[in-house]
Structure 1
Amino acid sequence: MADLRDRAILLSASFPSGERGERFKPYDADAVADAVTALVSAVITANGRLVFGGHPTITPLVLRVAADHDARNAVDVYQSDEFRDQITEPTRDLERQGFGRIVATPTVGDLRENLALMRREMIGGSPDLAAALFIGGMEGILDEFDWVGELRPSVPRLPIAAPGGAAAMLSAQGPDGRPLPPEVLGWLRSPRYPLVSAELVRYLAEA
């Protein structure tokens, strides 16, 4: 059985929507949810941890999977203090029930600067980061992909393409930009999300 040995996986995911989402078509919201659920389940089952930016549409999915697995302290949710009063109840429940913690980052300027600081601390502040996975999303997915490449070039960047959205526009990158094995590239294009997640976690556990 794959064992991530308590290493962290960065999850960068959201649902494209509205006028902004037009740029990122085609996308399938149900497929985004299925892929996120399968990935979180596979990481938790393999003794890994999730690190993510607490997107309000993704947090309930992560909370549900963590609760289903009774996975304590399995999730780090990064939130800028700019949104302190907007932290959703599912996010607060995540911490209250012991499945993870909220990591607050300070406000330093306008929205873009505050989000940049949050992403810098989220990505740079996890020394045991094993990989970054990208699902669905819009501009924020593209930004976080670039941040990982800049701050953690040795961390593989793995966009799951089948649900569409911004992640489907990205090219997978191995550690330090090296090519990934063909089988990994095939998994990233597959819509068989439970199998994809299990195989990716196994690959990362053995890397």
Structure 2
Amino acid sequence: MPVVKGALALHIVWIMIREKADPLDLFAEWYAEAVKSEPNDPSAMALGTVGPDGMPSVRMVLLKDYDPAGFVFYTNYESRKGRQLLANPKAALLFHWKSLRRQVRLEGPIEKTTPEEADAYFSTRARGSQIGAWASEQSRPLESRFALEKRVAEVTAKYVIGKVPRPDHWSGFRLQPLLIEFWQDGAFRLHDRLEYSRPTPGAPWSTRTLYP
């Protein structure tokens, strides 16, 4: 009997959630809760891309901004993910907030952030991270740890005075979601799944619930 009550309560909450016409409103609520409850990196998200051979790749990146235009993250454009996204500008994202037993996944086309956006974010990074953006040839073979430390020392000496400029090859991507799915853990694996989708960026959203 308690299970029935719990399931009914969760179902009522889910009906209330469905009243939100814009998935960003629901994402904002869930993200705010994750910031309070997750012990580390609530902004961490898995990024899925596809290589020229059709082989998918997944790695963790950090969400740096989101708004109606999309979800933003930054990287080295010459890295593996950078090259894949430039060649095939489509991607998937997944947030997993274990403490809340929730997931949010997104799919959609990718566009570059503007240089002004990238400059603004780069200026907020720690100086050591700015140096690292210059020193690391991300995703390429590294002959030794000493070689990396040497490059860091050289870049540090070059920019010992003044601001560290943003490298041209380091910038951001914005995923413009065409699909956002909210997943909430349920008893006996009877999870709740709510999907928002639209045909193109900026179009109205439609919703549907999915079997667990």
TM-score where L is the length of structure 1: 0.24
- Structure with the higher fraction of residues in strand conformation: 2
Determine which structure has more spread, i.e. the larger CA radius of gyration.
Answer: 2
Q: Which has the higher contact order (CA 8 A, sep 6+)?
A: 1
